[in-house]
Structure 1
């Protein structure tokens, strides 16, 4: 398990050691200043994707950033520790998985209220994958130029290196799970 306070101290030391203001690293990493600040204070544990963005912003790999911070091979993320995100438009997502060094995998539970469009998501790097399973309601999933209508109990896989979208055009809420392996291209920085 990774201690969020130790991770926060390491991030703070790396950022200040490079002479970067909080806002500069946040901009470089593509995360909010408030999120980065909470992570540095040890109040939030970043998702795999957010951690990868921060590592990229510092010019490091995620595994190098997390080296020596892992204290246990079994990582338990209690319900109270899960990230709950209320998105604009009324939809809600919960990141269920813990952060694991070197693993770009996330399992997310999302609830879309009736008539909600979560919008379009950009293509991830080649080698990225998404699995979606609908728990309740109906989900309209756009993958590239095709649309797939999924009912409760349906599941789908798609390579996530294309634009994709999620919407609920029905009259009842839709709850679904996304299991994503997201590859992120590395920039030319020293790893």
Structure 2
């Protein structure tokens, strides 16, 4: 398991070694200064997406960023460590998966209140995949120009290299899980 404090010190040392201010790396990585600062202090464990962005900002592959930090092949993410995010519009998502070096996979549980449209998401890089399973309520999933209405217990797969959207058009809450393998272009270096 990767110790968040060790990871934070390592990210700090790599940033300092490149002569980058905290705000400069945050800008290059597309991560907020407060998030990056919390990671460097070991107070926050980054998601796979955030870790990938930091690695890109440092000009490193994720595997090199995490080299020598992985002490165990089993990575546990306790419920208290999960990222809980309330988005504009009142919808809520929880990132359930731990960070796994070299794997761009996330499992996210989302709750959409009645009548909530979470909006559209851009196409990811070719080779990206999403699996969606509806736990409760009804979800309207848009993939490209087609909409799919999914009820509790339904699931779907789609290549995520096309634009997609999520909406709850009913009067009841909707809870669904997204398992996503998102490919990203890597910067050279």
Q: TM-score range by the shorter chain?
A: over 0.9
Q: In structure 2, what is the equivalent of residue 47 of structure 1?
A: 47
Matches within 5 A, 1:26-105: 26-105=26-105
Q: In structure 1, what is the equivalent of residue 115 of structure 2?
A: 115
- Distance in 2 between residues matched to 1:53 and 1:122, nearest whole Å: 17
- Distance in 2 between residues matched to 1:121 and 1:22, nearest whole Å: 28
Q: In structure 1, what is the equivalent of residue 5 of structure 2?
A: 5
Determine helix, strand or coil for the equivalent of 1:24.
Answer: helix
- Distance in 2 between residues matched to 1:8 and 1:41, nearest whole Å: 6
- Distance in 2 between residues matched to 1:32 and 1:165, nearest whole Å: 25
- Distance in 2 between residues matched to 1:117 and 1:15, nearest whole Å: 38
Runs of 4+, deviation exceeding 4 Å: none
Q: In structure 2, what is the equivalent of residue 124 of structure 1?
A: 124
Q: How far is 1:146 from its partner?
A: 1.1
Q: How far is 1:68 from its partner?
A: 0.8
Q: How far is 1:113 from its partner?
A: 0.5
Count of residues in correspondence between the two structures: 189
Q: How far is 1:122 from its partner?
A: 1.1
- Distance in 1 between residues matched to 2:38 and 2:181, nearest whole Å: 25
Q: How far is 1:41 from its partner?
A: 0.7
Q: How far is 1:33 from its partner?
A: 1.1
Matches within 5 A, 1:140-179: 140-179=140-179
Determine helix, strand or coil for the equivalent of 2:120.
Answer: strand
- Distance in 1 between residues matched to 2:35 and 2:117, nearest whole Å: 25
Q: How far is 1:147 from its partner?
A: 1.0
Q: In structure 2, what is the equivalent of residue 137 of structure 1?
A: 137
Q: How far is 1:145 from its partner?
A: 1.2
Q: In structure 2, what is the equivalent of residue 22 of structure 1?
A: 22
1:65-115 per-position Cα deviation (integer Å, ceiling 9, x unaligned)? 011101111111111111111111111111111111111111110001011
Gaps of 5+ in 1: none
Determine helix, strand or coil for the equivalent of 1:27.
Answer: helix
1:111-139 per-position Cα deviation (integer Å, ceiling 9, x unaligned)? 01011111111111110100000000111
TM-score for both structures, normalised by structure 2 = 0.98
